[in-house]
C-alpha cells in the first residue's frame, strides 16, 4: 500500500459535512492512506469564496486527480450553473458508474444487483438552453439543445462493455429512445450495436430497450437486467429509480470517471430537509469511498469496508431511519467503527 495518497475532499452542502465526517472516519479505520486536501464547492463555495466552484478547488483536483465529494446544492430554475456539471466538464468525467445492490434482504425487491453506466458529458442534460421572448412574455418559448457525438457515445459504451467484462457480468442493456429521438439517441444505439458486433460479440449478452419500457420492466422484474448503459438524462432518472429498488438514495454510490480525474460521491443530493438533524444515512458515501479504494487498487480495504457495512446493517441491525431503523448518523458510524475494530 502507498504511504500516502493525496486526494481532494469536498464536504459539500446540507447533509454533506455530516456524511463526509463519518466516511472519513471509516476510511481511517480501514487504514486507507488518503491525505485530504479539503476544499469547498456548491453553496458553501458561494458562501465562503464567492464562487460555486472556486479556482482553488479546481486546482486541487488537477493536482490530486482524485476526489471524494459530498452533495452540492444547485438552485432550481435560476441561480448558478450546477457545480457538479461543471466538475464533470472540467475534468472530462465522461463515465458515471452507479452500482445498486440490495443491502438489507427481505424488502420489496430482494437480491437486486444492477449497475447503471451513465454518459456524463453529453445529451439533453448539458443544460444548453435559452428562452425566446414573444410580446411581453420573456419566457414565451424554452429551447434546450441535446448533443450526442459518435466519439462520446463510443467512449461510454466501451467503458460499460469493458466494465461488464472486468466485473464478470453476463448482460449489458443499451437504454435509448431511438424510436422518437432518432438522431439524438439513435446515434448512441447505433454506435453500441456496431461496437458490440465488431469487438465484443460473445463476451457478454447485449440487448437494447426503450427508456419508458425499461422503467416499467425494472419495476416489474429488475432481475432481468444486469448492466444498463444509457445517455446522460436517462441515466440520471434511471439511477434514482434503481436506487429506489434497493432501499432508497441512502444506499447508492456513484463514481465519476474521466481522463483527467475521478470523483466519488453518493447518488443523492444535499437533503436540505434533514440537514443538521444527525439522521442522515452515510452508507451511499461510504460505498462511494469503497469504490474509490477499488479505483486506487486497494480492493482488500474496500471489501473490509463493505463487509463492515453489511454486518452493521444485517447482524447488529443498526440502521438509520431511511433504512427503517432508529439510529442516527453518529450511532450508525460508531457501529461500523466497532465492526472494523474486530479482528
Ligand atoms: P436529495 O437526494 O437531496 O433528497 C431527496 C430525498 O431523499 C429527501 O427526502 C432526503 O431527505 C432524502 N435523502 C437523500 N439522501 C439521504 C441520506 N443520505 N439519508 C437519508 N435521507 C436522504 O434530492 P433533492 O431534495 O431533490 O435535492 C437537494 C439538493 O441536492 C438540490 O440542490 C440538488 O440540486 C442537489 N443534488 C446534488 C447532487 C450531487 O451533488 N451529486 C445530486 C442530486 C441533487
Q: For position 179, which CATH number holds?
A: 3.40.718.10
Q: Residue with the nearest Cα to atom 34 of ligand 1?
A: 74
Assess whether the C-beta atom of 296 lies below 6 angstroms from ligand 1.
Answer: no
Is residue 261 over pLDDT 80? Answer: yes
Is residue 266 over pLDDT 90? Answer: yes
For the purposes of burial, counting CB atoms within 10 Å of the CB of 117, is it exposed (0-12), middle (13-18) or buried (19 or more)? Answer: buried
Last residue of a domain, one of 248, 283, 304: 248
Q: For the residues 160-176, what does the mean pLDDT come to? A: 97
Last residue of a domain, one of 196, 215, 248: 248
Residue 51 maps to a domain: yes
Q: How many domains does the chain have?
A: 2
The minimum-distance atom of ligand 1 relative to the CA of 43 is 32
State which residues form the domain around 237.
Answer: 106-248
Q: Whole-model pTM?
A: 0.93
Residue 96 maps to a domain: no
User: What pLDDT was estimated at residue 155?
Assistant: 97
Residue 98 maps to a domain: no
Q: Does 219 lie in the same domain as 111?
A: yes
Q: Does 242 lie in the same domain as 111?
A: yes
User: What pLDDT was estimated at residue 259?
Assistant: 86
How long, in residues, is the chain? Answer: 343
Q: For the residues 165-173, what does the mean pLDDT come to? A: 96
Residue 1 confidence class, pLDDT cut points 50, 70, 90: low
Q: Does 244 lie in the same domain as 110?
A: yes
CA 194 – ligand 1 centroid, Å:
37
Assess whether the C-beta atom of 327 lies below 6 angstroms from ligand 1.
Answer: no
Q: Does 287 lie in the same domain as 244?
A: no
Locate 283 and state its grid cell. Answer: 452508507
Last residue of a domain, one of 248, 272, 289: 248
Residue 245 confidence class, pLDDT cut points 50, 70, 90: very high
Our answer to whether residue 137 is catalytic in this structure is no
Residue 255 maps to a domain: no
Residue 168 confidence class, pLDDT cut points 50, 70, 90: very high
Residue 100 maps to a domain: no
CA 145 – ligand 1 centroid, Å:
26
CA 255 – ligand 1 centroid, Å:
17
Query: What pLDDT digit, counting tens, does each position of 82-141 carry?
Result: 899 899 999 999 999 999 999 999 888 999 999 999 999 999 988 789 999 999 999 999
Assess whether the C-beta atom of 83 lies below 6 angstroms from ligand 1.
Answer: no
Is residue 26 over pLDDT 90? Answer: yes
Choose among 294, 286, 290: nearest CA to 320.
Answer: 286
Q: For the residues 208-214, what does the mean pLDDT come to? A: 98
Q: Does 244 lie in the same domain as 111?
A: yes
Residue 101 maps to a domain: no
Q: Does 240 lie in the same domain as 139?
A: yes
Our answer to whether residue 69 is catalytic in this structure is no
Residue 253 maps to a domain: no
Q: Does 145 lie in the same domain as 13?
A: no
Query: What pLDDT digit, counting tens, does each position of 71-93 carry?
Result: 999 877 777 888 998 999 999 99
Our answer to whether residue 316 is catalytic in this structure is no
Q: Does 119 lie in the same domain as 230?
A: yes
Distance, in Å, from the CA atom of 35 to the CA atom of 27, rounded to the nearest integer, reads 11
Q: Does 76 lie in the same domain as 208?
A: no
| H or E element that contains 124 | strand 123-134
Our answer to whether residue 131 is catalytic in this structure is no
Choose among 262, 316, 268: nearest CA to 294.
Answer: 262
Query: What pLDDT digit, counting tens, does each position of 29-63 carry?
Result: 999 999 999 999 999 999 999 999 999 999 999 99
Assess whether the C-beta atom of 281 lies below 6 angstroms from ligand 1.
Answer: yes
Q: Does 116 lie in the same domain as 229?
A: yes
Q: Residue with the nearest Cα to atom 4 of ligand 1?
A: 271
Residue 3 confidence class, pLDDT cut points 50, 70, 90: confident
Residue 97 maps to a domain: no
Q: Residue with the nearest Cα to atom 12 of ligand 1?
A: 271
Q: Does 265 lie in the same domain as 300?
A: yes
Average pLDDT of the chain to the nearest whole number: 95
User: What pLDDT was estimated at residue 128?
Assistant: 87
Distance, in Å, from the CA atom of 234 to the CA atom of 273, rounded to the nearest integer, reads 26
Our answer to whether residue 80 is catalytic in this structure is no
Q: Does 217 lie in the same domain as 129?
A: yes
Amino acid at each position: 500500500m502507498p504511504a500516502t495518497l493525496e486526494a481532494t475532499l469536498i464536504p459539500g452542502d446540507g447533509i454533506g459535512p455530516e456524511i463526509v465526517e463519518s466516511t472519513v472516519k471509516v476510511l481511517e479505520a480501514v487504514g486507507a492512506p488518503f491525505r485530504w486536501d479539503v476544499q469547498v464547492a456548491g453553496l458553501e463555495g458561494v458562501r465562503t469564496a464567492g464562487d460555486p466552484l472556486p479556482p482553488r478547488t479546481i486546482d486541487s483536483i488537477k493536482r490530486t486527480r482524485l476526489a471524494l465529494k459530498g452533495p452540492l446544492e444547485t438552485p432550481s430554475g435560476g441561480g448558478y450553473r450546477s457545480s457538479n456539471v461543471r466538475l464533470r466538464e472540467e475534468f472530462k468525467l465522461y463515465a458515471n458508474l452507479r452500482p445498486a445492490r440490495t443491502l438489507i434482504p427481505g424488502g420489496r425487491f430482494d437480491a437486486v444487483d444492477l449497475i447503471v453506466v451513465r454518459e456524463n458529458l453529453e445529451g439533453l442534460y448539458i443544460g444548453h438552453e435559452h428562452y425566446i421572448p414573444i410580446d411581453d412574455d420573456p419566457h414565451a418559448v424554452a429551447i434546450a439543445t441535446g448533443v450526442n457525438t459518435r466519439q462520446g457515445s463510443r467512449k461510454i459504451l466501451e467503458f460499460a462493455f469493458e466494465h461488464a467484462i472486468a466485473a464478470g457480468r453476463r448482460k449489458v442493456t443499451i437504454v435509448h429512445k431511438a424510436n422518437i429521438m432518432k438522431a439524438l439517441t439513435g446515434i448512441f444505439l447505433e454506435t453500441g450495436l456496431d461496437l458490440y458486433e465488431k469487438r465484443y460479440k460473445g463476451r457478454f449478452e447485449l440487448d437494447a430497450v426503450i427508456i419508458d419500457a425499461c422503467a416499467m420492466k425494472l419495476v416489474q422484474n429488475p432481475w432481468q437486467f444486469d448492466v444498463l448503459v444509457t445517455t446522460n438524462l436517462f441515466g440520471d432518472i434511471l439511477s434514482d429509480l434503481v436506487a429506489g429498488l434497493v432501499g432508497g438514495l441512502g444506499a447508492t454510490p456513484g463514481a465519476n470517471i474521466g481522463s483527467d480525474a475521478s470523483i466519488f460521491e453518493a447518488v443523492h443530493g444535499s437533503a436540505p430537509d434533514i440537514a443538521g438533524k444527525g439522521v442522515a444515512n452515510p452508507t451511499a458515501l461510504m460505498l462511494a469511498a469503497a469504490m474509490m479504494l477499488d479505483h486506487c487498487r486497494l480492493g482488500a480495504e474496500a471489501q473490509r469496508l463493505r463487509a463492515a457495512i453489511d454486518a452493521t446493517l444485517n447482524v447488529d441491525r443498526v440502521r438509520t431511519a431511511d433504512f427503517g431503523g432508529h439510529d442516527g448518523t453518529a450511532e450508525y458510524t460508531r457501529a461500523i467503527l466497532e465492526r472494523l475494530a474486530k479482528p
